[in-house]
Amino acid sequence: MTPDLFAAEPTPAERAAELRAQLHHHAHRYYVLDAPEIPDAEYDRLFQALQAIEAAHPELLTTDSPTQRVGGKILDGLVPVRHAVPMLSIQTETDTTAGGAEAFDARVRRELGLAETDPAVEYAAELKFDGLAINLRYEHGVLVQAATRGDGETGEDVTQNIRTIGQIPLRLNGEAPAVIEVRGEVYMRRDDFEKLNERQREKGEKTYINPRNTAAGAVRQLDPAITAQRPLSFFAYGLGEVRGWTLPDTHSGLLDALAAFGLPVCVDRCVAQGAAGLVAFHAQIAAKRDALPFDIDGVVYKVNSLALQRELGFKTREPRWAVAHKYPAQEQLTTVLAIDVQVGRTGKLTPVAKLAPVFVGNVTVTNATLHNENEARRKDVRVGDTVIVRRAGDVIPEVVAVLPEKRPEGATVFTMPHTCPVCGSAAVREEGEVDHRCTGGLFCGAQRKQAILHYAQRRAVDIEGLGDKLVEQLVDADVVKTLPDLYRMGLMALANLDRMAEKSAQNVLDALEKSKHTTLPRFLFGLGIRHVGEATAKDLARHFGSLDAIMDASEEQLLEVNDVGPTVAQSLRTFFDQPHNREVVEQLRACGVHWEEGAPAERAAQPLAGKTFVLTGTFPKLKREEAKEMLEAAGAKVAGSVSKKTDYVVAGEEAGSKLDKARELGVAVLDETGMLALLSTA
C-alpha cells in the first residue's frame, strides 16, 4: 500500500500536542530515569518548535506545557493554601541504635494486639530526605498546584517555582485519577550544592550554609526565575487527597504506582519483615549514607499494609504506623584553635580552620576549609570562635557559621599572607579572582609534583614514562626537588625506587635525554605559567622568536601578541619577575634542554590570522595534532567547539556532532584535501 502523498499537514494544535508528548517523554527519561534517548540539542530543537507554535497561537498554550517550566511573573507574596488532607508530621525515634527500630516494632505489635508467637509485621522502609515537604495536586493528570507543608493545615502556593524542577512531571503518565495529591520532598544534591557554592565564590558572593536551607529558600522565592537557577530535585513518598482511584493494598505498592505515573521515587527502599528487617535496613543505609548523592538525617519505617495503617490510626497529630529513625547529626559546634594557610598542587592558597576535635558525619573532624580570604571574612571566622561545622558524605568539612555571641575578646580578623607559607614566593590575587596563588610554581615544594607532571606531559616536552606514580616516588624520596633535577638523575637513583627495574630506569633516562630537544612553544607551555596554554605559547614563540625576548618583554610588548590580554601579560611578567623561576629556566638550559629559535614573525606571514577552525573526525594522512600545528603556523586559531564565530570545520571520517552543528549554523566544511589546498594558497 503506497503512502498518501497528499495527506494533510498536522494542524498547529495537533503539532503542539505531539511536541508536548515528546518533550514530556524525553524529560522523564532525562530527569527521572537518567537514561536520555536524544542529545540535548535535539531536545532544545523540539522545545523551540513548541515555543514558536505557542507564540504564534497563544490559545494553544496549556498549563502542562514544558515551556511553562522557565518561570513566570514575580509575585508580591506567597498565597496561603488550605490542605484538603492535613500534612502531618511523624514521630521521631532519637535512639540511633538498633533499639530505636525494635522499640517501634514493639509499639506496633502492642497496638495491634499481637502475641510473641504471631508472624512478623511487614514494613516499608525508606529514606528520610533532608529537604522541604511539598504537596503536588494533579487534576486529570495535570499539575495544577504545588504547596509547602506550612503548619500542616495551611501551606503556601509555590506552583510557579515547582514547575521549574525538571524531575516533577507537569502531566502524569497513563490513566491518571480525577484528583491525586502527591507528597514528597524537594531537595538539593550535594554535588549540585557544591557547584552552586563554587559559582558563588567565583563571583565573590555569599555562599549557602547547607543543601536543605538552600532548597527551602529556593522553593519560597517570589521570583521563579531565581528558583530556576537553583539545581533542585524531588522524591515522591506519599499521598494527600485522592478522587477516582483505587489505592494499592500496600505502601510499597503505592510507591510503585507513583513511579509508574512518571514521578521520581527513591530506589533505596525495601519491604522489611519485623524488627530484624528494620534493624538491617537502618544499618545498611548507615553504611552507604556517605556515598548517597544527597543528605538524609534518618530512615522512615511505615507499616506496609494500608488496611493496618487505618486500623492503627493516629495519636494526636502523628500516625501510630510510622516513625523516623534518626542518624547522628552532620553539623556540630566546636572551637577554632588556629587558622593555617595550605598551598595546593596548583598554587592556590586555602585558609583552613584548625578545630577542637568534634565527631560529625561519622568521623572526627579537626580541620575545616574556609575556601578563600573573601569567604573567611564574609563568615568572619576568627581564632577562638565557636562555629558550626558541617560534613556530609565525601564533601570536605567546612565552617558554615559563627556564633558571634560566644566570641572571646580580642579575636582578630583573618588576613591572607602576602607570601607563600611553603616557599616564600609572592602570593597574589589577580583582578577579578577570589583566590590567592603562589607565584613560585617551578620552585614551590607544594607544587613540585604538579609542576613536574605538567612539564613532562605529551603536549609539553613529552617525557615518556614519567607518570603520576613515578613522580610521586621521585618527589617523596627527595630525588627530584626542581625540574633540572630530572636531568641530573643517575641510573641507580631510579633503579632503587620501588617497582623500578634497571631496564625501566634506563628507558626513563632515555626518554629524558630525548626530551632535551624540544620546541620553544612546548617548553614555554611546559613551564606551567598561569593562563599560558598551548595556543598562547605558540603565539608568543611566533611573535618574539626567542625565550630571552619573551622573558624580558614588558607588559606593553606582550600585549602586542595575538590573543594576549592584560591578564596573560601580567601573569607572564609576574612569573619571570621571580628570580627563582628564571634560575630554574637557566638550569634547564644548562642541562641541555634546547630548541630552534628564529626571528620574530612578520604579520604578513600569518595568512590565516583571525580565522577560527574546528577539527573533527579522523583524517587520511595527517594526525589531528599535525593538522592543528599546520593551521596555527599559518596564524589560525583551532577551537574545540563549533559556534557562529567558526570560519571552517575540517571533517574527516566518523565526524560527529561538530559536523552536524556546522551544517546547522551554515559554517563552511572542508575535508583534509580542502584544508591542505587552503593552506597552500593562503
Q: Is 445 part of any domain?
A: no
Whether 64 contacts 159, CB under 8 Å: no
What is the tally of structural domains in the chain? 5
Vertex 463 angle, CA 462 and 466, to 5°: 130
Measured distance CA(157)–CA(159) in Å, rounded? 6
SS3 content of the chain, % helix, strand, coil (to 5): 40, 20, 40
Q: Is 155 part of any domain?
A: yes
Q: Is 431 part of any domain?
A: no
- The reply to whether 563 and 675 lie within a common domain is no
Work out the average pLDDT over 461-469.
Answer: 91
pLDDT, one tens digit per residue, over 407-453 is: 999 999 999 999 999 988 889 887 777 889 998 877 888 888 889 99
- The reply to whether 524 and 554 lie within a common domain is yes
- Supply the range of the domain harboring residue 624: 604-681
Contacts 24+ apart (CB under 8 A), 363-366: 363/391, 365/332, 365/334, 365/389, 365/391, 365/397
Query: pLDDT band at residue 4, thresholds of 50, 70 and 90?
Result: low
Q: The domain that contains 556 carries what CATH number? A: 1.10.150.20
Residue 524: name the closest of 507, 536, 514 by CA: 536
- The reply to whether 178 and 280 lie within a common domain is yes
Q: Is 235 part of any domain?
A: yes
**Contacts for 161 with CB less than 8 Å, ≥ 6 apart:** 146, 218, 219, 220, 221, 224, 227
List the catalytic residues: 128
**DSSP code at position 93:** E
Measured distance CA(450)–CA(470) in Å, rounded? 12
Whether this model's pTM surpasses 0.75? no
Q: Is 65 part of any domain?
A: no
- The reply to whether 528 and 578 lie within a common domain is yes
Q: The domain that contains 622 carries what CATH number? A: 3.40.50.10190
- The reply to whether 113 and 155 lie within a common domain is yes
Q: Is 55 part of any domain?
A: no
pLDDT, one tens digit per residue, over 544-569 is: 999 999 999 999 999 988 778 888 99
Q: Is 73 part of any domain?
A: no
Q: The domain that contains 373 carries what CATH number? A: 2.40.50.140
- The reply to whether 175 and 297 lie within a common domain is yes
Of residues 661 and 391, the one with the higher pLDDT is 661
Measured distance CA(127)–CA(269) in Å, rounded? 7
- The reply to whether 116 and 220 lie within a common domain is yes
- The reply to whether 309 and 401 lie within a common domain is no
Whether 143 contacts 64, CB under 8 Å: yes
Residue 80: burial class (beta carbons within 10 Å; 0-12, 13-18, 19+) = exposed
CA torsion sign for 444, 450, 455, 460 is negative
pLDDT at 152 over 90: no
Query: pLDDT band at residue 73, thresholds of 50, 70 and 90?
Result: low
Percent residues over pLDDT 90 in the chain: 45
Q: Is 533 part of any domain?
A: yes
- The reply to whether 507 and 656 lie within a common domain is no
